[in-house]
Structure 1
Amino acid sequence: MSNRRGRVAVVCAVVMTSILGWALSACSGLPVGGPVREGRSVDERVTRAARIDPMPPPVGASPEQIVQGFLSAGAAFQEPGDDGELVAKSYLAPDSAERWDPTSVVTVYRDLAIGSPSATSIRAISTPVATVDRSGHYRELAPDARTEAEFGLVQIEGEWRLELPASGFGIWLNTIDFDRIYRPYRISYPVIGTNRLLPDVRWFPFGPRLITTLARAQVAPVPDYLEGVVESGFPEGTKLVVEAVVVDDEGVATVPLTASASRADVRQRKAMWAQLGSTLLAVPEVTSVTVEAQGTGLLSVPDLPETLGSLANTGYALEPSAPPRDGLLRTGSQLQRIDLARLGDMSVPEPTLAVTAGLPRIPLGYSGLAAGPDGTDVAARSPDRSTILRWRGQTSMPVSGLGTGLTRPAYDADGRLWIGGVQHGLGRIWVASAHEGSKAELIQVDWLQNRVPVAVSVSRDVTRLVIASRATDGDDPRVDVAGIVRDTAGRPQRITMPKLVDAPFVGVVDAVWMDDLTVAVLGRIVTDVEPRVYVAELGRGIGLRQRPDDASSSMIPIVPASRAVVPTTGPRGLVVLTGQGMFVRVGNGWRAFGDATELAVLAQRPLTD
């Protein structure tokens, strides 16, 4: 190496590709199914991660060692060295150090390879499993994804250093370091017109600036997919006054807000305290929260203490929706009401007059059974998917105003009936009232017009839809969550812009809510295999971050010819419907449930309103 300070041409880019022409070293296979074991609770208090002590560049290090060292040292982006500087920056040319922005995009990878350097650049390639954006939203990537980075090479006083692109560079973390550094947290918002808080799950680094990071995220505007569904107590323009939330020796976190916070009325102030309390009290070091406004001091609220240790006095609650208890089981054309808890032990009795009284008989060929909250309102779809029949008691009537290619109908906890389909060549969502006949009203969903709905399901707390759809040519399958915007009377008016469910599906047959933060998807993440059920936790994905040898024993097995999935009760309660019958999840397998052909679950109202 020369001792003179020299520069070579810089080439640096980061791209996602599905196929690369050169092999990875030490690459292992990726899982083709999602694990279903329960992970850590979103709001579980956890111990501080172990300190990461990266090594600075050794004298005479090769370009390969410099790239490997920089990527490894990136894991310590919260921990300056003895000189007060981040060690990762010592691997960079001076004019690149300021372009390194660790939390701009976090790429979580399983395997890494460093290519042979050219005279001007060197390439790194990884098998990524997920990314986290600046706002903390986590998204899993397809099993065949590859992330490639090409760094420029520069000699600084005879030592190799890296040049980053003008657009900047984030960090790459292997799955082990990611799990040591990052944790999921709930950023919560009041549902408009209620006293319930709705969480949005984000991932943030667990370190010295965590509490400030959480407070900043909570004060920021509502996410697009919840705009019009939830609100924020923070007046527009409110921010943190300084870049640090102070936590004293007693564990009291003081959140200093700009003067605009003092404009808030009592209702908004209660919401602010509740939002900050629900988020910051999940951090082990925080025992209580207090809120101040610049120029005002304590942002006082009647009936609230000066420090908040729980949500009890705020009037808001972060409570899950009630799990369903009852369902309608179909055998042939006959329905009977059942206790869902008895599905797991396969002990549902034979139909009797007592359990079938008042229930309609469903014509053979009709499928997609759905039932309203009290079990007396029932719907099913015709074989050609052009008609939805709705029964009240034993009286049937078609739902009018619909198109074709209709999805399985879905009732919400208010008794409204939701249906997707196509009309005049455009993707549509309709809703039929619980009390006003059977005419369906069109709901505004601008982003769905050039797509074909495959499945529609309403969350138990009636705030969001999960919508599975595909492009009109059959490609680009998606599973999205979007909010339900209502008028002042509570009637649905439009659906918000969507947020993609955090898993890389390449085919989708069905998608339904299991609870307020979990969706069951019948689909594929690789081509040329039969669909299987994946459990997708919003903000957490389907578990692709776990290694294949850890995940293989906990994947949900495939049920051949599956056409629908039905959630029942509990975190593992699932039923799969096929052309041959109904299969109940028992342990980590499936068991045929007698002669039953379909199941409809009766929705329950949220625990808190």
Structure 2
Amino acid sequence: MNPRRRGGRVLVLALLAALLLGGCGGLPGSSPVAAGLRADTKVDQRARVVVSGPIKGAPQTIIARDFIRAGAAFQDTDANQQVVGRTFLAPDSVDRWKPTSAITVYDAPTSLTIDQLPSDQVRVSVAAVATIDAAGRYAELPPGTTRSLVLSMVRVDGEWRIELPAAGFGLWLNTDDLEQVMGHYELHYVVAGTQRLVSDVRWFPSGSGLATALTRAQLGPVPGYLSGVATTAFPASAQLAVDAVDVDPQGKATVVLADDPAVVEPGRRRALWAQLVATLLQPGTTVISVALEVQGVGPIPVPNVADEVAQLDVLGFTTEPSLALTVGAARRGTEVTLVNPQDVAEGGVVPAGRPLQGAPGPTRVSSAYTGLALSPDGTDLAAVAQGRAELVRWRAGVPLTAPPLGTDLTDPAYDTAGRLWVAGSAQGRTTVWTLTGTAATPGVATPVSAGWLTGRRVLSLRISPDATRAAVVSTAADGSGSRLDVSGVRRDGSGVPLSLAAPYQQGQPLVDLRTATWVGPLELVALARDRAGGQLRPFDVSLGAGVGLRRVARLTLDQQLVPPVPDAVSVQTRDVDSPAAALVVLTGEATYLRLGGRWELAAGVRDLVVGGL
């Protein structure tokens, strides 16, 4: 299930039907499990996983196994209005089972391993691929990770039942059931000083309580990686007045907040409502409109806004901008011209192009410069020298050498706010700089504080389309421990970046990460390996939803992922609607384009870059 506005996409040759078929992993002879209808947007028809209760006279190992599998139906009740999973538990353990407190996701094609232990205990083990915490944060695990749980067994009315650990237990969901009963959804926060919203992705059960779960989560604080970048209109004291958000048959959600003077402050009402509208009206919910009230007070009045809102723009707010990707630059030999990156003909033929704005002809960029970048409006180019100690911009075809910054400079990157970014080493310390990327002079480099990068070497730095987040690939000083982090960009009142917020690691299963480029507000494409010794290839990374390797377990990765390009050094896309089908891979000497499910060499083109990526 993928209810987000921009669904996460695994970079595969095809999403084969086999990926959506097949039974759940487990020992043979278990109680039956059947997948029901999948929930669709705006239709109150959610997915269900139907399970049976304990088998009479079943041994300890079967009871333990079927309890784990029955957990997927934690939102449903049987004919006796009993949650089936609870029927496997001893009476004292019923309250210890808190399904969404901690979820382990395991590989569906692999079986649960059940071991009988002495003293009426059973050990259950799985090949774990991800976890979801109580806040709904999804984190993928390195390949080969296992999880084990020891369960004590006791007799209840002559039948074996489970005694859960005193610390409690959540869920183990296989990858098939995860897609049926959980979904990733966006919470929304206000970009500081604007009327734009920025998203944070969390996972929630896709059942009748979804609107309530989303609202409760939306009342919480701004996540750490967006701290100082975005704000929330909800005061820390805000809470629901009743246990649930009511959604009527017409799709109207009524949110009733507890009486709190801070909630009804005039200065926060519009933004508060906008956050709820954006979150509750997203695809995957059944909500069509939102009404907002305070208990004992009634509807919260906002000038020129009705008591029921069905569109975000009524409140004067917008979400993240989309990417057009219609401005690009091609380098043939030493000549650079502007092209439309989507006007690529069959066979990888890139159009001849036109000069940069104000340039009399093609801009000449020597082969001594690498890491070509283009401003979003196509007016400026930037690159670094092969020795990675010099940054140069070209405006109207004229080179502008930036003041000396440091060594080991990354490829430069432009953001949509007009800043040019680069990272490197200065006086032995990792440093991030920005410059005015479209000025007629070289400009002054401004350091951007990022203390969490101390002791690390930055390989790649790219800014999201809405200019709120940085994607940073880095390693330890010795080159080990590569990782991809997303961090919010804190700016001053004039828009100059000041610092990077706390890192939020993404793409955890990937190793030997080289670069990561944004292909949408919540999507990145990374150049990496899936395992040590694996081939270097592009991977899609969905912010808060993972790399998607959990979806490709039934066939080997080589049968499904985009084939590698030898000597690849960077990757981006020409089309955000189908990034996998429009990949651009650069080797430093040649450009390869993904066309019709195959790689095509762009004849004579050394570099093809897209403005703002």
- Normalising by structure 1, report the TM-score: 0.88
**CA drift at 1:159:** 2.9
Find the counterpart in structure 1 of residue 182 from structure 2: 182
Equivalences for 1:144-223 in 2 at 5 Å?
144-223=144-223
3-state SS of paired residue (1:139): strand
d(CA) in 1 for partners of 2:361, 2:419: 20
Q: In terms of mean alpha carbon deviation, does 480-489 or 47-56 score higher? A: 47-56
8 Å contact from structure 2 (residues 63, 160) kept in 1:
yes
Change (3 A) 1:288 1:349: closer
**CA drift at 1:140:** 2.5
RMSD: 2.6
**CA drift at 1:214:** 0.9
Amino acid at match of 1:445: A
8 Å contact from structure 1 (residues 358, 393) kept in 2:
no
Gaps of 5+ in 2: 1-9, 21-38
Amino acid at match of 2:563: P
Q: In terms of mean alpha carbon deviation, does 300-309 or 392-401 score higher? A: 392-401
Amino acid at match of 1:534: F
Equivalences for 1:339-488 in 2 at 5 Å?
339-343=340-344, 345=346, 346-350=348-352, 357-434=360-437, 435=439, 437-488=442-493
Amino acid at match of 2:546: G
3-state SS of paired residue (1:195): coil
Find the counterpart in structure 1 of residue 28 from structure 2: none
d(CA) in 2 for partners of 1:350, 1:344: 12
Matched, 1:296 2:297: yes
d(CA) in 1 for partners of 2:398, 2:281: 52
8 Å contact from structure 1 (residues 502, 540) kept in 2:
no
8 Å contact from structure 2 (residues 370, 383) kept in 1:
yes
Matched, 1:574 2:574: no
Of 528, 532, 545, which aligns to 1:523?
A: 528
Change (3 A) 1:404 1:270: same
8 Å contact from structure 2 (residues 338, 355) kept in 1:
no
Amino acid at match of 2:124: A
- Cα-to-partner distance string for 1:313-337 (whole Å, 9 max, x where unaligned): 1001235323221111111211111
**CA drift at 1:568:** 2.3
Matched, 1:492 2:497: yes
Q: In terms of mean alpha carbon deviation, does 235-244 or 449-458 score higher? A: 235-244
Change (3 A) 1:58 1:135: same
**CA drift at 1:187:** 1.1
8 Å contact from structure 1 (residues 521, 565) kept in 2:
yes
d(CA) in 2 for partners of 1:326, 1:104: 46
3-state SS of paired residue (1:64): helix
8 Å contact from structure 2 (residues 484, 505) kept in 1:
yes
Matched, 1:113 2:112: yes
Change (3 A) 1:214 1:520: same
d(CA) in 2 for partners of 1:290, 1:54: 37
d(CA) in 2 for partners of 1:408, 1:38: 33
Q: Percent identity over the alignment?
A: 36
Of 86, 89, 93, which aligns to 1:96?
A: 93
Change (3 A) 1:353 1:281: closer
8 Å contact from structure 1 (residues 344, 584) kept in 2:
no
d(CA) in 2 for partners of 1:77, 1:85: 10
**CA drift at 1:259:** 2.2
Matched, 1:35 2:12: yes
Q: How many residues align?
A: 571
**CA drift at 1:543:** 2.0
Find the counterpart in structure 1 of residue 567 from structure 2: 561
**CA drift at 1:413:** 1.5
Change (3 A) 1:552 1:444: same
Amino acid at match of 1:258: A
3-state SS of paired residue (1:380): strand
Change (3 A) 1:584 1:385: same
Q: In terms of mean alpha carbon deviation, does 483-492 or 276-285 score higher? A: 276-285
Q: In terms of mean alpha carbon deviation, does 220-229 or 84-93 score higher? A: 84-93
8 Å contact from structure 1 (residues 421, 452) kept in 2:
yes
Gaps of 5+ in 1: 1-32, 605-609
8 Å contact from structure 1 (residues 235, 261) kept in 2:
no
Change (3 A) 1:131 1:569: same
Equivalences for 1:494-509 in 2 at 5 Å?
494-509=499-514
8 Å contact from structure 1 (residues 458, 466) kept in 2:
yes
Find the counterpart in structure 2 of residue 321 from structure 1: 322
Amino acid at match of 2:198: L
8 Å contact from structure 1 (residues 113, 125) kept in 2:
yes
**CA drift at 1:565:** 1.2
8 Å contact from structure 2 (residues 356, 378) kept in 1:
no
8 Å contact from structure 1 (residues 106, 132) kept in 2:
yes
**CA drift at 1:576:** 0.5
**CA drift at 1:84:** 4.1
Amino acid at match of 1:348: V
3-state SS of paired residue (2:212): helix
